[in-house]
Amino acid sequence: MIDGTWEPCPATRWEDAFLSGNGRHGAMVFGDPADDRVVVNHHTLVRPNGSEDLRPPELADGLGRLQDALLSGDTTAAETFGAGSPLVWVQPFHPAFRTRVRRTRGLHEAVSGYRREADYTTGEVTAAYEAWRSGVFVSRADDVVVQHITDPGLTADVLLDHALPGAPARLAVGRSTVLTPGGARLALRVGYPGSPLGYTGVTEARVDGGRVSVAGDGIRIEGARSLTLTTRVVRAAGRPDLGTLWEALPHEDYTTLLDRHRPLHREAYGRASLTLRDAVAERELSGSELLRDPRSPALLERLFAAGRYHLLSSSGMLPPRLTGLWTGDWDTAWSGAFTTNANLNLQIASASAAALPEVTDAHAALVQGQLSDWRDNATALFGARGIVAPSHTDGESGHTRHFQRAYPLHLWTAGADWLLQPLLEHAEATTGTPDPVLTAALVETALFYEDFLGREDPDGNVAVVPSYSPENRPANASWGTVNATMDIAAARHALTTAADHSPGHPSAALWRSLAARLPAYLVNEDGALAEWAWPGLMETYDHRHLSHLYPVWPLDEINPYDTPELAAAAHRALELRGSENDSAHGHLHHALIAARLRDPSRVSAALDAVLGGDFFHDSLMSAHYPSRDVYNADAAHTLPAAVIESLVQSTPDRLVLLPAVPAAYPAGELRGVRTRFGARLDLRWAEDGATAVLRPTRDALVDLRTGDGLALTETSAGNPPAPLELTAGVDRVLTLGPR
């Protein structure tokens, strides 16, 4: 199978539970006939920890003194900027509860006839053994978690269980159970310690046949033919009206609810696909079997599908968190937050190309919902207009308040440009121009730089000071310094992009002038693009982040075609970069940059490190570190982007076909890719060439480039013009053969 996965036994760890989600609710399905557990998640569930009302500290009055000190050579001056401010983590993401249907018969290992399966085309997770069958999905049509169990003579206890790992001891828990004709209604109210906030889960249980009675904290079903549970979670202050919540649940049967949900999910998931020629022999293996053979093309094929499925399923009201939309433990690493200085953008890197506008819309909702807080950051920290994005957010507050000597995340000014770039790529792929909301945000980013870039270096260039390269430091200086390459790239890109899209703005000419006065990138004594364009700062090569290669990916400012010398320096920087602690996001960030620099061997090595490092659980959700250490969605969600970039790259005026194909995957088909010049693309490749079909939605002139050893031939009379001319509504077939 390609569009799904399966296992021959139930999950015993929540990390191995199969996943379903609609971008609001999430479900983690164990599939155990003896104790059929489904962990219910919701994007809004973050536990108050005292950070929710904190504003960014007022540091702007000290900014001038800090700039003077850094420019005069004080390499530790930034360590006192914000000293005394607390290190406050954002509100941690947590699970709601688990529904449990407990029977007496146990099944905890692989046995003949048992099968647990996730169908990525529908979002339904099923499990079956003998006469017992369980199905679970999270409805896009009705925004509920739906669970259906059939088993002749079903006898079981049903409850909503809040006692998940790491749950605070002082949670205020209240329950309500009401018997109804043909079933029961259950409610679980959980209040956070020391807070008026809490959340409520409501479930309607519908029973076909048998008897229902109240038992303990839930109900007992005896002799039923089937059971359907419909569940929703609401986070709010006070005590909601349970009757209203119960009545708002849909009351149709499982099949009707699934039929209403299925086409919405199927249409989104089915827009793009990857098949590999050499995967056929192993396609029907279980996910755990495939994971034991990291070089299997069938594994990459399935992980590509799983990555798109999980990314789509975790994106809706918000984009994916560090854990996507799922966790079975209250103690989520790094608060289960949105870490914006690398992880979030990496996870959503395929959204535009892999035809998932739902993901981009979710990202836009996060950004647009926090712009007011970003303005507060700019004013409080830097005394500037415009916007400054935080490095961490819980999805509620966008205020910067993470202060730490080793990670002075409050000094990071590139965040707004970095986070707006995926929205800009989506606009290019669809309409060709940003919408008014995005244009306004681009202008606000430029306004920040207009106010912030007021200092010069000895050569008369504008200096970015203070400056920070997430999450690295020079070998001979502290973290906060001058002219981090990422900051220079972000400032130049923000200023020029705002001027391009708002040419009538009174400051447009000034923005272009400021962009021109930013310093050039520095090539160091090793021939590598330096992480800091400031004399005397020494490199720290062994680090998981590759922030200084922002001009390569995703900006494409540095590329092998227009800036070959800088591309060579960037490639040298990539060669020298270590993997530090083997974080999955570092390896796949490396793959994305290597693909832009046309290095298939480095793409292969990065993919091999992730596929062979035991990063994936049986659920095909990933971990942050090797040996499945720390549940984390970075690898799962980023892998499709790395694969696509190795096969197809695009800008508004360029198409690159097969720039960095890994040798282990010499033939296959990639369908449904969206390009940034407004065309859908299907690509079929093999050892002796490739065929690409372009379906443009608007006219375009495109510079076509091909991978090494390939050249374009024409399937119709004559050779294509240079650049390639595309006409809206007219398909174009391109054939590549040996050069």
How many whole angstroms from its chain centre is CA 704? 29
Q: Answer with the one of 638, 655, 675 that is the final residue of a domain.
A: 638
* Cβ neighbours for 199, distance < 8 A, ≥ 6 positions apart: 42, 44, 45, 96, 189, 190, 233, 234, 235, 236
Q: pLDDT exceeding 70 applies to what percent of the chain?
A: 98
Looking at the structure, tell me whether residues 74 and 98 fall in a common domain.
no
Which structure tokens are listed for 3?
A: 């569009």
Q: Tell me how far apart the alpha carbons of residues 81 and 65 are, in angstroms, rounded to a whole number.
A: 10
Please, are residues 53 and 439 in contact by the beta-carbon 8 Å criterion? no
Closest by CA position to 404, among listed 51, 59, 76, 79: 79
In a domain, 672, yes or no: no
Alpha-carbon gap, residue 331 to 166, rounded angstroms: 6
Torsions phi, psi for 323 (to 5 deg): -105, 15
CATH of the domain at 132: 2.70.98.50
Neighbours of 430 (CB within 10 A): 17
Residue with tokens 């700062």: 537
Residues 258 and 328 in one domain: no
Q: How many CA atoms lie less than 13 Å away from 464 in the CB half-sphere?
A: 30
pLDDT at 108 over 60: no
Flag whether pLDDT at 111 surpasses 70. Answer: no
Compute the half-sphere exposure of residue 269: CA atoms within 13 Å on the CB side of its CA. 30
* Statement: residue 723 has pLDDT above 90: no
* 8-state DSSP, 697: S
Q: What is the CATH number of the domain that holds 399?
A: 1.50.10.10
Residue where one domain finishes, among candidates 638, 666, 681: 638
Instruction: Enumerate residues 6+ apart whose C-beta is below 8 A from 383.
Output: 60, 61, 63, 451
Average pLDDT over residues 182-192: 96
- Provide the domain limits for residue 107: 4-46+94-267
User: With contact defined as beta carbons under 8 Å apart, do 656 and 650 qualify?
Assistant: yes
pLDDT at 372 exceeding the cut of 50: yes
Does 262 lie in the same domain as 389? no
- Give the percent of the chain with pLDDT over 90: 92
In this prediction, residue 239 has a pLDDT band, given cuts at 50, 70 and 90, of: confident
* pLDDT the model gives residue 294: 96
Say how far apart CA 485 and CA 502 lie, in whole Å: 26
Strands 700-706 and 654-657: parallel
490 with 623, same domain? Answer: yes
Average pLDDT of the segment spanning 731-738: 94
Count of C-beta atoms within a 10 Å radius of residue 194: 11
Residue 643 lies in a domain: no
The pLDDT-based confidence of 149 (bands split at 50, 70, 90) is very high
Among left, alpha and beta (phi > 0; psi -120 to 50; other), residue 9 is beta
- Residue type at 414 in one-letter notation: A
* pLDDT at residue 721 tops 50: no
pLDDT tens per residue across span 137-148: 999 999 999 999
Whole-angstrom CA distances from 616 to 289, 325, 481, 604 are: 12, 17, 37, 18
- Structure token pair of residue 733: 């077939």
* pLDDT band per the 50, 70, 90 thresholds, residue 105: low
CA 430 – CA 146 distance, rounded (Å)? 34
Q: Is the pLDDT of residue 595 over 90?
A: yes
Secondary structure in 3-state letters for 586-650: HHHHHHHHHHHCCCHHHHHHHHHHHHCCCCECCCCCEEEECCCEEECCHHHHHHHHHHHHHHEEE
Does any domain span residue 273?
no
Locate 721 and state its tokens.
């013009």
* Structural domain contains residue 675: no
Say yes or no to pLDDT of 110 above 60.
no
Q: Report if residue 646 sits inside a domain.
A: no
- Dihedral sign, Cα of residue 572, residue 574, residue 575, residue 580: positive
Residue 656, in any domain of the structure: no
Residue 416's SS3 state is helix
Q: How many residues does the chain have?
A: 739
CA neighbor of 22 nearest in space, from 161, 183, 138: 138
Let me know whether 178 and 259 are in one domain: yes
Number of C-beta neighbours around residue 472 at 10 A: 23
- Residue 659 identity (one-letter amino acid): P
What is the Cα gyration radius of the chain?
27
Residue 168 has pLDDT above 70, yes or no: yes
Condensed to tens digits (0 to 9), the pLDDT of residues 28-65 reads 999 999 999 999 999 999 999 999 989 999 999 999 99
Closest CA to 561 of 434, 655, 639: 655
Q: Rounded to an integer, what distance in angstroms lies between the CA atom of residue 168 and that of residue 187? A: 20
Run of H or E residues at 129: strand 124-129
- Flag whether pLDDT at 89 surpasses 50: yes
What is the structure's pLDDT at 714?
A: 65
pLDDT band at 642 (very low <50, low <70, confident <90, very high): very high
Answer yes or no: is 690 within a domain: no
- Residue 173: inside a domain, yes or no? yes
Which of the listed residues 267, 282, 312 is the one where a domain comes to its end?
267
Q: Are residues 404 and 433 in the same domain?
A: yes
Are both 12 and 77 inside the same structural domain?
Answer: no
Residue 397 has pLDDT above 70, yes or no: yes
Domain check: are 221 and 337 in the same one? no
Could you read off the pLDDT of 223-237 as tens digits, one per residue? 999 999 999 999 988
Give the model's pLDDT for residue 11: 97
Q: What is the pLDDT of residues 447-464, one digit of tens each?
A: 999 999 999 999 999 999
Same domain, 221 and 170: yes
DSSP codes of every residue in 508-549: HHHHHHHHHHSPPP-B-TTSSB-SB-STTPPP--B-S--GGG
Residues 427 and 484 in one domain: yes
Please, what's the b/e burial string for 438-469 (b: 16 or more CB within 10 A of its CB; e: otherwise)?
A: bbebbbbbbbbbbebbebebeeebbbbbbbbb
- In this structure, the answer to whether residues 473 and 615 fall within a common structural domain is yes
| Rounded Cα gap, residues 150 and 200, in angstroms | 27
Mean pLDDT, rounded, for 90-101: 97
d(CA 693, CA 688) in angstroms, rounded, equals: 17
* DSSP character at residue 61: G
pLDDT of residue 716: 42
Q: What is the rounded CA–CA span in Å between residue 460 and residue 20?
A: 56
pLDDT digits (tens, 9 = 90+) for 656-686: 999 999 999 999 999 999 999 999 999 999 9
Please indicate, yes or no, whether residues 236 and 117 belong to a single structural domain of this protein.
yes
Task: Please tell me the total count of domains within the chain.
Answer: 2
- Across the range 415-441, mean pLDDT stands at 97
pLDDT per position as a tens digit, 192-201 = 999 999 999 9
At residue 473, what is the residue type? R
Query: Do 464 and 413 touch, CB atoms closer than 8 A?
Result: yes
Average pLDDT taken over every residue of the chain: 95
Q: Can you give the pLDDT at residue 104?
A: 65
Let me know: does 177 contact 218? Beta carbons within 8 Å: yes
CA–CA separation, 60 vs 451, rounded Å? 12
**pLDDT exceeds 50 at position 717:** no
